[in-house]
Amino acid sequence: MLGLNKKDTGLFIFVICVTALAPFIMNPFPADSAMAQFNAGYPDLMQRFVIFGIFAIGFNILFGLTGYLSFGHAAFLGAGSYAAVWMFKLLSYNIVPAIILSVIVAGLFSVIIGFISLRRSGIYFSILTLAFAQMSFAMAYSVLTPLTNGETGLQVYNDDPQWLKGNGPDATHFFGLEMRSTFDLDLGAWSFSFNVGYYFCAVLMLVAFYLSMRIFRSPFGLMLRAIKTNQTRLNYTGLNSRPYTLAAFVISGMYAGLAGGLMASMDPLAGAERMQWTASGEVVLMTILGGAGTLLGPLLGAGFIKYFENIFSKINESVLHGWFGFLPDGIENGLIWVIEHFVGSGWHLTLGLLFMLIVIFLPGGLMEGATRIRDRFSGDKTKKDTEGKYAPAGE
Amino acid sequence: MTLIKPTRRGVIQAGALAGAGIAMPTILTAESHAGYRNAPQGSTVTLGFNVPQSGPYADEGADELRAYELAVEHLNGGGDGGMMNTFTANGSKNALKGNGILGKKVEFVTGDTQTKSDAARASAKSMIEKDGAVMITGGSSSGVAIAVQGLCQEAGVIFMAGLTHSNDTTGKDKKANGFRHFFNGYMSAAALAPVLEKMYGKDRKAYHLTADYTWGWTQQESIAAATEAKGWETVKNVLTPLATTDFSSYVAPVLNSGADVLVLNHYGGNMVNSLTSAVQFGLRDKQVNGKNFEIVVPLYSRLMARGAGENVKGIFGSTNWHWSLQDEASKAFVKSFGTKYGFPPSQAAHTCYVQTLLYANAAETAGTFNPCGIAEALEGLQFDGMGNGATEYRADDHQCFKDVLVVKGKDNPTSEFDLLEVVEVTPREQVEYAPDHPMFAGGDLGQCNPGA
Amino acid sequence: MDAILLQILNGLDKGSAYALIALGLTLIFGTLGVVNFAHGALFMIGAFCAVTLQKILTISSVSIDPEKKDFLGNPMEVKTPYVESIFGEATGQLIINWSVPLAILFAIPVMLAVGYIMERGLIKHFYKRPHADQILVTFGLAIVIQEIVKHYYGANPIPTPAPDALRGSFDFGVLLGFDPNAVIYPLWRLVYFAFSALVIGAVFAFLQFTTFGMVVRAGMADRETVGLLGINIDRRFTLTFGIAAAVAGLAGVMYTPINSPNYHMGMDFLVLSFVVVVVGGMGSLPGAVLAGFLLGILESFAAMNEVKSFFEAIYLPSIDQIIIYLVAIIVLLTRPRGLMGRRGVMEE
Amino acid sequence: MGILEIQNVNKSFGGLKALQNVNLNIEEGTIHAIIGPNGAGKSTLLNCFVGKLVPDTGTVTFDGHSLLGKKPHEINQIGVSRVFQTPEIFSDLSVFENVMIPCFAKRDGAFELNALSRVQGQGDIRDKAEQMLIDVNMIDKRDMIASSMSRGDKRRLEMAMCLAQDPKLLLLDEPTAGMARADTNNTIERLVPTTQSSCWPKFRTSGISPWL
């Protein structure tokens, strides 16, 4: 189907189903139960899952396939966001021109940075991309304030021109369909939110995922993988690796721009921190954590990190008391004292520990974990799957 | 936020879809018809405390959180009541009853802003969308405050700003749903300038080091204008990158620039490091133009000042509130905070505590949690007994006007908390400005948004 | 002229911190082939060794002074450090006063132990793993270390002053024939520079003149061959890691009086130190030192008002914001492997 | 006029003169071997043909094109393929993919952004690669990951990759070193027919190679 082989079609249908049913899957616990804290099915976080999914899928096309580790991809995300917010300021809250422009701007930006940075490889390439991104961040935070609104972040003001707005809505919309519209469904104790913005992002994420599958299975993807394993041989085989890497860089930059544009479309504010090295580092971590070079891995990694950031950081002492209130006081306090270090303001600690545990025990990232579980259940441990899975993160 | 009201048909279809899995689901629509976003259901009301828990301001965030928990305890009738006993609104006793707000028990959710506008907005959104918070408060930087304030305006909940000092928060970025109790750059400058004139004379040449982002600029602009009005000359203003950790390169040229005062428009870690560098370079031991060289830190944070150690001794600055104030309200607050946590509260804790009580009181007087009702109750509110003397929430820009403290690093601290001494309480009239003052112009409060 | 001299001094000073961190980082790259994102955390641990020693020395006996009142009006607790009661007040205060230099003695064994545990417990298993895995695991470790420190010491900076005798500033210019007060420089910063030069010199001498150093250098050149010679390279690599950790730690200890340490200072230096290492050239020790000082000095010059206005005139405002990265880009584009890098190291 | 002409080529590394006034003229359809002891400059000479090194002076012309200053992929596209001394293959890819890549290079040139077509759908490429694997007797290994093969197999694979491009000039650097005897013979059998076109195998070590 759609030019995919049977296995990929299966995977794609699986992803479509999960994304479509996410409002149910993310909210497994009744809304009033103690476990509701772990529910992630509210619009903002679900949007973030798919948006960062797009970002990571794109990054994986560069890093997972060619092995070029960019430490500056956040710059494209930020550039995309700024472009989108400017479209809101100048034209209207319709997100279509905003998203188109954000992809174009990020694409152009990545052509320039990629063209220069790809003259070097290995860590030299990483540092070049890092340097460009950090320069963009520093300037967006200070000198470029007229363009970026600096520390505060670019946002839409009432006195902005918005030439095409007319009587259009006062919130981001897709030809009148507001991104923030949410339909809440209560089923007994359960509550599920269906948000327009989420489904809009989800559709684009599926398109992005589909394109990434096609790229993985294309001769172009084959060349990219060849670059990762032996660039010298590729050159002596008559192929010019530079345009291939540049194309991969620009494609992943455009994915980042799309993600940035969507972020602004869901929440029309673009902050400079989006370009900081920590933001670039985050997408690197997402990709490696999920499993670089795998199709599904980046999505998993993005979901994993965003889940921790948004859910674990919100568990505070009083929530813990709510959970363990039934225990005798001494045990309750002891238990809370221990757990407290890992949630709330200690959520970073949990994240750091999980990074270490995953990379120590699952060298191929979360995808390797998934494969192991599947193999355990199917009882077929010898089956080697060379079509769907490529060597994990490489140098 | 406008929600699509599910039509009858839509509900039935959705019910049929989901009903396949669950027998006889009860179908309700989440949104009550209260006419505003996140109207509290049942016997509780949820407030969202959005503070930095990681990053450089984590300690300040932790102190804010302590204050919020104390405020919630007091609102729910626990503890000794703190400033609830001294707080008077519009000349009469406050409307708080110690049974929660409007009879609903106060619950809260917390989140980590990470001092990044993106993360802060994500956290605030999850409080609004997931936890049903009807008010968001907190924060320790202006960028975050402005970002979250904008979000709350769109979402239709009230934002009670925490520590934010930029003129823009109630200037060009003011919002109808946002309220600031904390003072701002202009007020700091207006309070500080007369004291500086008195201490250091009219004929001074000032060299400014300024953090190169919005807050730094507005702070520098304010202080330069105020001191120039007193006859000072601004020799130079040098912008320092946010990421600077070692300020030696910026401090080194100061001594030979002809200036005899150094103004450090820095906050937090930047302030600690630039002040430390300035003292290391021996600036304070020197004489220029026949006068002692002086350093000024317009915005003090006691928590951060601790990081600079002995370097703060004798250095002037301003602060929103200090625990050593001897009015009844401050004493009551310090007592309940100190008894609970074992150390005195910071100015960030104070402003957050006060904001929570103000919100609760506004809800009580308005008789609703509807943001528009609350805004109406807060606008023009005259209150006292909150540690800052008689205060007004100005309707035009939602900024509190109150006395401003000028403080000095204490020469002989008696304890680790005793770092600053209040040298002057600048009366409110002196720091007041017109709503259309050029430094605050350009903004638009807009309409209050109840979100539904 | 005096302004330039001042900025050169500043540059050397910043440069020494960069160089010390980068030196260890490139040593770990070169010998072990590991990308250590936890190296900034080692620097931070070093700084907190000084903080810890200060805390240990000021562990106090508590007595109640009914005369004084604390902030709640209760009788105040008066603390007398045990050091003062044991050695007498004057000696005790002197010891506390000199806690930062004393912390060097404390930090060396601590850092060697930290390095040993890190290498044996974690890094060892990652020699053959891809760099991406190394980055992820060491980054995770850095976060964990950082959070632990934050938990015990809080997020605010903690003042750790230099000894009184070294706290003032020093009229450096007079020595060189400038007018008095023209070039005044903090004493402790001069101490920091001298100390760094000493440590850098010691590391180079160690690698140059000892058998151990020879094996390490050989290992940097060709790990497999040295392994084949039957030399127990692994044990030596463990020690190398320990040395790198100790160098970063010492840099941290001595840095505390310059800027009060906080839990995220390691992350602040991490990116910068990678830039330094790469500009110097992967796996080149002299390169790391050279690049450290070069970037330190250029950064200082970029902060000068004259330089800033010059660049503003050619439409490059706020040059000090971007100078480090701009220099990195220029160096890497003109010299493919940094200033002194070797072919083939970390190029895949 | 030969297909490959080398005139007065000099190359020195520092003080060491690796090549001194080398002149060569290779006719189409012939097989040549270069022999010499270690360090004689054989590899240096080869490197000057494929763009890895640029001679200090002299000219290298192939089929009317000067090779000086050309990038490796450009030289390959003119028709020069090289088998390396230590096998250079795409070790993370399957054997079949390894052979497909040169087929793509032959068909599509140095760069082609065929990001949305499918490898599966490239019938001509697949047929050609399959035929090549049959020719070198490796069809049974087509789905193996290249790195998991023996050294001899890797070498054969590399040769298959070069042959798949129908090069006008084939440079072989010790093509049979490390191969089992049978494999060596297979290789020779496979090579002989191709020499009808212009191939120029090169053997570095004397003695081992049965060609000398």
Length of chain A counted residue by residue? 395
Question: What percentage of residues in chain C have a pLDDT greater than 70?
Answer: 95
Instruction: For residue A356, give every residue at least 6 positions away whose Cβ sits within 8 Å of its Cβ, in sequence order, or none.
Output: C122, C137, C140, C141, C144
Q: In the block, which residue shows the tokens 């995953």? A: A358
Is the domain of B135 the same as that of B52? yes
**Partners for B (CB, 8 Å, 3+ pairs)?**
A, C
Contact B129 A186 (CB under 8 A): no
Instruction: For residue B150, give every residue at least 6 positions away whose Cβ sits within 8 Å of its Cβ, in sequence order, or none.
Output: A155, A269, B173, B175
Let me know if residue D208 belongs to a domain: no
Is the distance from CB of D115 to CB of A220 less than 8 angstroms? yes
Is the domain of B48 the same as that of B177? yes
Is the domain of B125 the same as that of B248? no
| Structure confidence by residue, pLDDT tens digits, B187-204 | 999 999 999 999 999 999
Is the distance from CB of C44 to CB of C263 less than 8 angstroms? yes
Question: What percentage of residues in chain C have a pLDDT greater than 90?
Answer: 49
* Whole-number pLDDT of residue B448: 92
- Partner residue opposite D50 with nearest CB, options A215, A236, A391: A236
Beta bridge partner(s), residue B86: none
Q: Give the structural domain span for D20.
A: 4-194
Instruction: Give the burial string for D181-202 (b: 16+ CB within 10 Å, else e).
Output: eebbebbeebbeebeeebbbbb
Give phi and psi for B239, each to the nearest 5.
-85, 135
Q: Give the structural domain span for C133.
A: 2-57+100-334
Beta bridge partner(s), residue D5: D25, D61
Let me know if residue D114 belongs to a domain: yes
Distance from the Cα of A170 to chain B's closest Cα (Å) equals 9
Q: Helix axis angle, C2-32 relative to C39-57, nearest 10°? A: 110
Element housing D106 (H / E): helix D95-108
Contact B25 A152 (CB under 8 A): no
pLDDT at D183 over 80: no
Q: Helix axis angle, B58-75 relative to B328-341, nearest 10°? A: 110
Let me know if residue B276 belongs to a domain: yes
Residue D112 three-state SS: coil
Provide the pLDDT confidence category of residue D212 given band limits of 50, 70 and 90. very low
| Structure confidence by residue, pLDDT tens digits, D32-75 | 777 777 777 777 888 888 888 888 888 888 888 888 888 999 99
pLDDT at A365 over 60: yes
Q: Does A139 touch chain C (CB under 8 A)?
A: yes
Question: What percentage of residues in chain A have a pLDDT greater than 70?
Answer: 95
Let me know if residue C8 belongs to a domain: yes
| Structure confidence by residue, pLDDT tens digits, D108-148 | 988 988 888 888 888 999 999 999 898 888 889 989 999 99
- Residue C175 CA to residue C183 CA, distance in Å, equals 10
* Whole-number pLDDT of residue C136: 86
Contact B236 C305 (CB under 8 A): yes
Q: In the block, which residue shows the tokens 């972020």? A: A263
Is the distance from CB of D142 to CB of D95 less than 8 angstroms? yes
Let me know if residue B245 belongs to a domain: yes
Is the domain of B205 the same as that of B137? no
**Per-residue tokens: A44:** 């903002």
* Whole-number pLDDT of residue C282: 84
Let me know if residue C65 belongs to a domain: no
Is the distance from CB of A293 to CB of A392 less than 8 angstroms? yes
Strands (E), chain A: 154-155, 173-174, 177-178, 182-187, 190-195, 269-270
Residue A146 three-state SS: helix
Question: What percentage of residues in chain B have a pLDDT greater than 90?
Answer: 72
Give me the helices (H) in B367-423, please: 371-378
Q: Helix axis angle, A219-229 relative to A43-66, nearest 10°? A: 70
Instruction: For residue C250, give every residue at least 6 positions away whose Cβ sits within 8 Å of its Cβ, in sequence order, or none.
Output: C20, C46, C104, C107, C108, C111, C195, C199
Last residue in a domain, options B270, B302, B319: B319
**Partners for A (CB, 8 Å, 3+ pairs)?**
B, C, D
Give phi and psi for C58, each to the nearest 5.
-100, 15
What's the average model confidence in pLDDT over A1-30? 90
Q: Quick one: closest CA in C to A139, which residue?
A: C321
Beta bridge partner(s), residue D170: D81
Q: Quick one: closest CA in A to C280, which residue?
A: A124
Work out how many domains chain B is built from and give that number.
2
Length of chain D counted residue by residue? 212
Length of chain C counted residue by residue? 348
Question: What percentage of residues in chain D have a pLDDT greater than 70?
Answer: 82
* Whole-number pLDDT of residue D184: 65
Full DSSP string of A68-135:
---S-THHHHHHHHHHHHHHHHHT-SBHHHHHHHHHHHHHHHHHHHHHHHTTS-HHHHHHHHHHHHHH
| Structure confidence by residue, pLDDT tens digits, A281-320 | 999 999 999 999 999 999 999 999 999 889 988 888 888 8
**Per-residue tokens: B329:** 């309200």
* Whole-number pLDDT of residue A382: 47
Strands (E), chain C: 60-69, 75-81, 169-171, 184-186
User: Cα torsion for D13, D19, D21, D23, to the nearest 10°?
Assistant: -140
**Chains D/C: 3 or more C-beta pairs closer than 8 A?**
no
Find the CATH number of the domain harbouring B136. 3.40.50.2300
Residue A383 three-state SS: coil
Extract the residue ranges of chain B whose pLDDT is less than 70.
Answer: 1-33
Q: Does C338 touch chain A (CB under 8 A)?
A: yes
Residues of A in contact with C144 (CB under 8 A): 349, 352-353, 356
Q: Does B241 touch chain A (CB under 8 A)?
A: yes
Let me know if residue C312 belongs to a domain: yes
Find residues 109-148 of chain B whose CB sits inside 8 Å of chain C: none
Q: Does C59 touch chain A (CB under 8 A)?
A: no
Work out how many domains chain D is built from and give that number.
1
Q: In the block, which residue shows the tokens 């080091």? A: B209
Residues of C in contact with B236 (CB under 8 A): 305
Distance from the Cα of D138 to chain A's closest Cα (Å) equals 18
Provide the pLDDT confidence category of residue D192 given band limits of 50, 70 and 90. low
Residue D67 three-state SS: coil
Between the alpha carbon of residue D187 and those of residues A173, C256, D161, D207, the distances in Å are 66, 68, 13, 17
Contact A352 C147 (CB under 8 A): yes
Provide the pLDDT confidence category of residue A395 given band limits of 50, 70 and 90. very low
Element housing A309 (H / E): helix A297-311
Contact C348 A121 (CB under 8 A): yes
- Give the burial class of A14: count Cβ atoms within 10 A of its Cβ; 0-12 exposed, 13-18 middle, 19 or more buried: exposed
- Residue D98 CA to residue D102 CA, distance in Å, equals 8
Q: Give the structural domain span for B209.
A: 186-319
Q: Does D53 touch chain A (CB under 8 A)?
A: no
What's the average model confidence in pLDDT over C241-270? 93
- Which region holds residue C346: left if phi is over 0, alpha if psi is between -120 and 50, else beta? left
Provide the pLDDT confidence category of residue C1 given band limits of 50, 70 and 90. confident
Give phi and psi for B297, each to the nearest 5.
-120, 100
- Residue B114 CA to residue B112 CA, distance in Å, equals 5
Q: Quick one: closest CA in A to C34, which residue?
A: A395
Of chain B, the end-to-end C-alpha distance in Å amounts to 6
Is the domain of B97 the same as that of B157? yes
- Partner residue opposite B129 with nearest CB, options A42, A153, A157: A42
Is the distance from CB of D201 to CB of D33 less than 8 angstroms? yes
Please report the ipTM that was assigned to this predicted complex: 0.89
| Structure confidence by residue, pLDDT tens digits, A155-210 | 888 888 889 888 888 889 999 899 988 888 888 888 898 999 999 999 999 999 99
Element housing B271 (H / E): helix B268-280
What's the average model confidence in pLDDT over C25-47? 91
Find the CATH number of the domain harbouring D130. 3.40.50.300
Higher pLDDT, D207 or B5: B5
pLDDT, averaged across chain A:
89
Let me know if residue D78 belongs to a domain: yes
Last residue in a domain, options B319, B336, B360: B319
Let me know if residue C326 belongs to a domain: yes
Q: Does B7 touch chain A (CB under 8 A)?
A: no
Q: Quick one: closest CA in D to A246, which residue?
A: D113
Residue type, B291: K
Contact B280 C159 (CB under 8 A): no
- Residue B302 CA to residue A223 CA, distance in Å, equals 59
Distance from the Cα of C76 to chain B's closest Cα (Å) equals 9
Quote the distance between the C-alpha of residue A287 and its chain's center.
9
Work out how many domains chain C is built from and give that number.
1
Q: Does B335 touch chain C (CB under 8 A)?
A: yes
**Per-residue tokens: B273:** 């490091």
Best residue of A111, A232, A236 to probe chain D, by most D CBs closer than 10 Å:
A236
Q: Helix axis angle, A317-324 relative to A329-340, nearest 10°? A: 140
Q: Does A186 touch chain B (CB under 8 A)?
A: yes
- Residue B408 CA to residue B300 CA, distance in Å, equals 9
Of chain A, the end-to-end C-alpha distance in Å amounts to 34
Residue type, C71: F
Let me know if residue B338 belongs to a domain: yes
Half-sphere exposure in the Cβ direction for A273 (13 Å, CA)? 18
Let me know if residue C158 belongs to a domain: yes
Is the domain of B159 the same as that of B201? no
Residue type, B252: A
Provide the pLDDT confidence category of residue C224 given band limits of 50, 70 and 90. low
- Partner residue opposite A341 with nearest CB, options C151, C321, C336: C151
Provide the pLDDT confidence category of residue C2 given band limits of 50, 70 and 90. confident
Is the distance from CB of D202 to CB of D173 less than 8 angstroms? yes
Residues of C in contact with A116 (CB under 8 A): 329, 333
**Per-residue tokens: D186:** 């297979």
Last residue in a domain, options B398, B425, B442: B398
Higher pLDDT, B9 or D99: D99
* Whole-number pLDDT of residue B361: 95
Provide the pLDDT confidence category of residue C76 given band limits of 50, 70 and 90. confident
Contact C125 A360 (CB under 8 A): yes
Rounded to 5°, angle at Cα C102 from C99 and C106: 115
Let me know if residue D212 belongs to a domain: no
Rounded to 5°, angle at Cα A294 from A293 and A295: 120
Between the alpha carbon of residue A116 and those of residues B356, C258, C337, D12, the distances in Å are 53, 38, 15, 32
* Whole-number pLDDT of residue D181: 65
Residue type, C311: F
Let me know if residue B417 belongs to a domain: no
Let me know if residue C68 belongs to a domain: no
* Whole-number pLDDT of residue C348: 61
